[in-house]
Every structure is written in C-alpha cells, then in structure tokens.
Structure 1
Amino acid sequence: MTGIYDERVARKAYVRRRQTTVFSITVVCMVVALVVSLLFYFHAFGLGKPQTAESLPNHGVTVACAVPDSSGTAKYVDTSTVHVRVLNGTQHSGFARAVGEALTNRGFTVESVANYQKTDVKRTVIYYGRNTVNEAYTLNDHFTDAVMKMDDRQDKLIDVVLGATFDNLKTKSKVLGKGAKITSISGCVDSSKMTNLPKALTHDAVS
C-alpha cells in the first residue's frame, strides 16, 4: 500500500508542477504582450509612430528624381527660368497675390495669380510636368512644407496651390540657389518611368 500511496503522491506533485509551469509561462507571455502593446501605444523608441514630414519629405507622394546635366550632377536652375502660376487654395483673400509678389521678388517668373477651385487645401502642392523637374525642385527649395506632384502637363508652367499649412517662404539665407547640387527626395523615381499621371489643371501652355 505504501508503494501505491507514494506513486499517487508523486503523480499529484508532478501534475501540480506541470500546471504551475504552464501557468507561469502563460502569465509571462501575457505580460510580454502587454508591455509590447504599451510600447506601441506610447510610440516608445518610435514603435508604431506614424511617418511624419521628416521621414516622408514629400509626404508619401511619389516624386521624380532631379535630372542630371552633362556632368552627371542635377543642379538648381536660375529662378527667372521657372514659370509659376500661384493659386489660392485657402479662404484667405489675397493670399496668392502676396505669395506671387514674394516669388517675383526672388526672381521667379510669375505668370498669374488666381483662386483655386477649392478653399480647403491643407498642404501646399507644387504641380509640375516631365519637362520641369529641376525647375520644380528649384521652386520647392523656397518652400518649407510643399508637396511635389507630377501630372501630365508637357509645357513649362508650374502650378503652386497654396494650402492652410503655408506660413512663409523659406528664409533666403537657407535657399541653396542656382548651380547648387539638387539632392533628390528619398524614394524618387525616374520621370520617364512614372506613368498613369493625373491630368494637369487647365492652363495656358508656357513654352
């Protein structure tokens, strides 16, 4: 009887140890899962944090790479060769005219200023075509938060649609200027490989 009793006691002890082990592992897993969830919730070490303008300088929009010249380097162009139409996409009256004058003072050829078809644009957008990639980069270098979007236009006009987040042009001392090397936006694509482009805003072509 003693042997049978000892065997039952040992079996019960084994079952208890196994249950304790399984329970402990379960608790540890739950704690780890909770900690990981909290790390993502509070964006610790950047976990689960939405990509920002810093990590997505063109805010997730595919942009064309700057076009290199015969020396193999893409360079900012003379502002006088950049033809711009400034459109006000906000409810602030006279916004486009003020920015147009500021761009004119910086040497850009401002073709016209007008109101955009919407008044609730949040972020400034620079619309350009295949033939004005470096010109668009040159214009964009004067803005702090604009998004560059290529459409199907074939002429030289570039549209700037002002959004609510626009505050002011970049300080002149921070603008690189004509002849400086253009650093293409990260993730850019060769313009010749960009297809299914959106239709350009209605405009008078500029050659």
Structure 2
Amino acid sequence: MSEAERARRLRRRHMHERQAVIFGVLLSFLALSFVVAAAVYTGNLNVPFFSRAFTAKPSPTATHDPQPCPPAGALPVAAGSITVNVYNGTSATGLAKSTGDALTQLGFKVQTEGNAIASYIGTARISFGIQGIAQAYTLAAHVDHAELQLDTRKDASVDITLGSAFVSLKPTDKVTLDPNTPLAAPVGCVPYDQLATAPAATPTATSKG
C-alpha cells in the first residue's frame, strides 16, 4: 500500500471519528433538552422564562373604585320612578332580558335590555350620574355585592351591567328598604363631589342580551 493510499485511509478514519463524536454530542444534547422540557412541563423544574406560571396570563378581576355616598337624608326612590337600562356583561344568552323582566315585575321602568360593550367580572356594576345617586342605591338594594360607579350623565337614569358572578336579584324579603328611612352610607364611601366621574357608558343593545 502506497503512502498516499495510507494517508487517505487515515484521513477518512479521522473524519468518521469526528462525525461519530459530533453525532454523539447532538444526540446527548437532544436527550438532555427532552429531559429538561419534560421537567419544566410537569413542574419539577422551575425555569423563569419557560415556566407555565411565568407565561400564564393573569385572570381578569373586578376593580372597585370608591363608591359615592348617598346625599345626607336621601330616601329610597319608588321603583316606578327609576328608569333602568339592563346590560349583559357575560356570555350567557338572555341574562339582560330575564333580569329586566324581574325588575319590571318589581315596578322598575326598564328602558333598555342588551349586551354590554365589554364583559364584567363580578356580580353587577350600577352606573349613574349625580342626579341618580338615590335611584342607584335603591336599585343596589336588590343586588348582592353590586359595584356603584358615578359617571357623567345628566339625567337620573341608572344602568346595571350584569357580571359573571350574577345569579339573580335578591328575594324581596331580603331587600331592606324603608321608604321613610334615609339611605345608609356604606363604610368607605366618598362624597360624590370628591369622586372623579367615568364617562357615561353606551353599551350595545341587542336581542341576545
């Protein structure tokens, strides 16, 4: 065998050895990557940039601004004098319609039933202007854990946006309103003239409310 042939065979052997080493390293890296990925996925390894807790989107929650206090000495308003717009802030079909029917049976003047522009996480949000504070508190007496929000409307109408935690109105025997007793100011409320007002909402009314 000539020296040239021996040199070629030696080069080929070295090339095969290098290829074997490279393939071995690649296979080891792939195996290690699989093990790490499995550990991260199952929660056995906490890697900030890959952990599910790091990448998960936070769940939406209801935000509650301070609610305005009722005017001193303000009495509950007769249901027949309160104009209510009912909006569905959930994906449930017909919630605004069924709740509007229930409010009508209680004597409220339901003007609009429809879907809210945005979903609401919570029981219900009652929106109203300065002229409708007593009306809003009267309506809120029929809803557990309602959020009261002052906006810029000029009339005494009241909007109620039903949220994902809403089930139904309170039973009438659980509604504690006395037409001759002033509305009670809840703990933590703020005089309405000290609150920033939100723009009046214009939810979309549809037949699916």
Judge same fold: TM > 0.5, yes or no. yes
Aligned length: 140
Deviation at 1:185, TM superposition (A): 1.5
Higher mean displacement: 92-101 or 121-130: 121-130
Residue in 1 that maps onto 2:121: 122
Q: Please identify the structure whose Cα radius of gyration is greater.
A: 2
1:67 aligns with 2:66: no
Structure 1 residue ranges (4+ consecutive) displaced by more than 6 angstroms after TM superposition: none
2:87 corresponds to which letter in structure 1? L
After superposition, give the CA deviation of every residue in 1:22-71 in whole Å (9 maximum; x if it has no partner): xxxxxxxxxxxxxxxxxxxxxxxxxxxxxxxxxxxx97421111113xxx
* Structure 2 CA distance for aligned equivalents of residues 82 and 108 of structure 1: 6
Residue in 1 that maps onto 2:191: 190
Q: Any gaps of 5 or more consecutive residues in structure 2?
A: 1-61, 204-209
* Structure 1 CA distance for aligned equivalents of residues 175 and 182 of structure 2: 12
Residue in 1 that maps onto 2:133: 133
Residue in 2 that maps onto 1:166: 166
Residue in 1 that maps onto 2:181: 180
Are 1:77 and 1:179, in contact at CA under 8 Å, matched by a contact in 2?
A: no
Same amino acid, percent of matched pairs: 30
Are 1:64 and 1:191, in contact at CA under 8 Å, matched by a contact in 2?
A: yes
2:99 corresponds to which letter in structure 1? V
Q: How does 1:27-106 map to 2 (within 5 A)?
A: 60-68=64-72, 73-106=73-106
Q: How does 1:101-112 map to 2 (within 5 A)?
A: 101-112=101-112
Q: Is the partner of 1:156 in helix, strand or coil? A: coil
* Structure 2 CA distance for aligned equivalents of residues 59 and 80 of structure 1: 31
Using the size of structure 2 for normalisation, the TM-score is 0.63
Deviation at 1:152, TM superposition (A): 1.1
* Structure 2 CA distance for aligned equivalents of residues 149 and 113 of structure 1: 19
* Structure 2 CA distance for aligned equivalents of residues 112 and 60 of structure 1: 24
From the superposition, tell whether residues 180 and 105 of structure 1 become closer, same or farther in structure 2 (CA, over 3 Å). farther
* Structure 2 CA distance for aligned equivalents of residues 175 and 96 of structure 1: 21
